[in-house]
Amino acid sequence: MEKARNRTFGKMMKQLQRPYSLCLYDGLGCENDAIRAHSVQNAGTLESLCKDGHVVMPQLVLTRHEPPRFEFQLVGRNNATTFTGLCADHDADLFRPLDTNGIDLGSDEHLFLLSYRAVLKEAHTTRKSAIDTQLTYQRGIEEGLHPKDVPCAPGEQAMEQMISAWLIELCRARYEHASINCTHKDIKHRVIELDAPPCLAVNSMFSTEVISEETGQPKFCHTECFSARGMHGCRFSYYASERNCAIQAFDHIFNATGHYQNYLISKLILKKCENFVLAPDLFKNFGSKQVELVTNYFERNICGQVYDNDAPEIYLFEPVA
């Protein structure tokens, strides 16, 4: 049994490292090779944070005999926040308006494209996760670690990942429709200026935990922390038809100011996002208690758990003494 577990763990590690390259644009009909596309704006945002070509982000550490854990590590700028979900042609075509003249926060098209990036990244991540989880489950059955044709926790986990990927795919198709038909106003945005220098970046899509009364499905929102022309801002995006849901989920953040607003945003990012990056010059000044509490808060919420802690050290915008 121990040998079977070791073999399954080895195959799982290989599967997790295997790239999943697929251009998700235009009805999934594109057969070009995917590139490493940035989910966070490279010019402007990432370049304002990185040091010697690196940023800091949480990385999963897996070993055979210890539970999975996360560690904040230096990551190359060209590997951070990238995903292999667009080919070079479609990445360039789709986001040309952002890359040509810089980001215009007054443009519905620009704000739409920024949130579209988060949708594509999440669609790619959830598809890969569903495939990895299902294959690992099947290998566990082959090795006799899980029962066949009988419900068990790994099988249910694989099913949950597939449902999650399907829900995000519905959003991706909705965004693609809005992109092709130029109905950018279907997505609404709230941009707030943060009371902090550029030090943190993220562009993520996540469930608000508000459930639709019509479909029984979770409502999704997007958030982005960015730097543009010296400003450090945070954007929240949502379907125009779901404005009330966004207010229900985020009004406490919209109404807060200064340090407390940054604190709420820190906790939201740690709870909901996995592709955020920090400036190395900021992170190196975090004390060991702050690193421990931030890492713990992230780890204990990453799989949809509901964990909270009011420690002031759970803060991403500056060192907390």
117 vs 271, beta carbon nearer Zn ion: 117
Query: Residue 274 Cβ, how far from Zn ion at the closest point, in Å?
Result: 24
Closest among 263, 236, 234, 232 to 249, alpha carbons compared: 236
Asked if 173 touches Zn ion (CB under 5 A), the answer is: no
84 vs 275, beta carbon nearer Zn ion: 84
Asked if 124 touches Zn ion (CB under 5 A), the answer is: no
Asked if 21 touches Zn ion (CB under 5 A), the answer is: no
Q: CB of 120 within 8 A of CB of 172?
A: yes
Rounded Cα distance, 184 and 201, in Å: 23
Asked if 28 touches Zn ion (CB under 5 A), the answer is: no
Could you tell me where the beta strands, DSSP code E, fall in the chain? 34-38, 54-61, 69-76, 82-87, 187-193, 200-211, 218-228, 231-239, 277-278
Q: By CB under 5 A, which span of 16-24, 69-77, 243-251, 298-306 interacts with Zn ion?
A: 16-24
Burial level of 309, CB count in 10 A (0-12/13-18/19+)?
exposed
Task: Please name the residues in contact with 303: beta carbons below 8 A apart, sequence gap of 6 or more.
Answer: none
Asked if 32 touches Zn ion (CB under 5 A), the answer is: yes
39 vs 227, beta carbon nearer Zn ion: 39
Asked if 87 touches Zn ion (CB under 5 A), the answer is: yes
Query: Residue 30 Cβ, how far from Zn ion at the closest point, in Å?
Result: 3
Q: By CB under 5 A, which span of 32-40, 144-152, 205-213, 264-272 interacts with Zn ion?
A: 32-40
32 vs 301, beta carbon nearer Zn ion: 32
Looking up tokens 């009371």, which residue turns up?
A: 195
Burial 129-160 (b: 16+ CB within 10 A, else e): bbbbbbebbebbbebebbeeeeeeebbeebee
Asked if 90 touches Zn ion (CB under 5 A), the answer is: yes
Rounded Cα distance, 15 and 128, in Å: 10
Q: By CB under 5 A, which span of 48-56, 81-89, 226-234, 294-302 interacts with Zn ion?
A: 81-89
Query: Residue 294 Cβ, how far from Zn ion at the closest point, in Å?
Result: 37
What angle do helix axes 258-272 and 288-299 make, rounded to 10 degrees? 50
Q: Which of 4, 13, 28, 30 lies at the binding interface for Zn ion (CB under 5 A)?
A: 30
Looking up tokens 């690196």, which residue turns up?
A: 54
219 by DSSP, 3-state: which?
A: strand
32 vs 157, beta carbon nearer Zn ion: 32
Query: Residue 204 Cβ, how far from Zn ion at the closest point, in Å?
Result: 23
Q: What angle do CA 86, 236, 181 make, to 5 degrees?
A: 50
87 vs 245, beta carbon nearer Zn ion: 87
Q: By CB under 5 A, which span of 22-30, 137-145, 227-235, 245-253 interacts with Zn ion?
A: 22-30
Query: Residue 37 Cβ, how far from Zn ion at the closest point, in Å?
Result: 10
Asked if 23 touches Zn ion (CB under 5 A), the answer is: yes
The binding site for Zn ion (CB under 5 A) comprises 23, 25, 30, 32, 87, 90
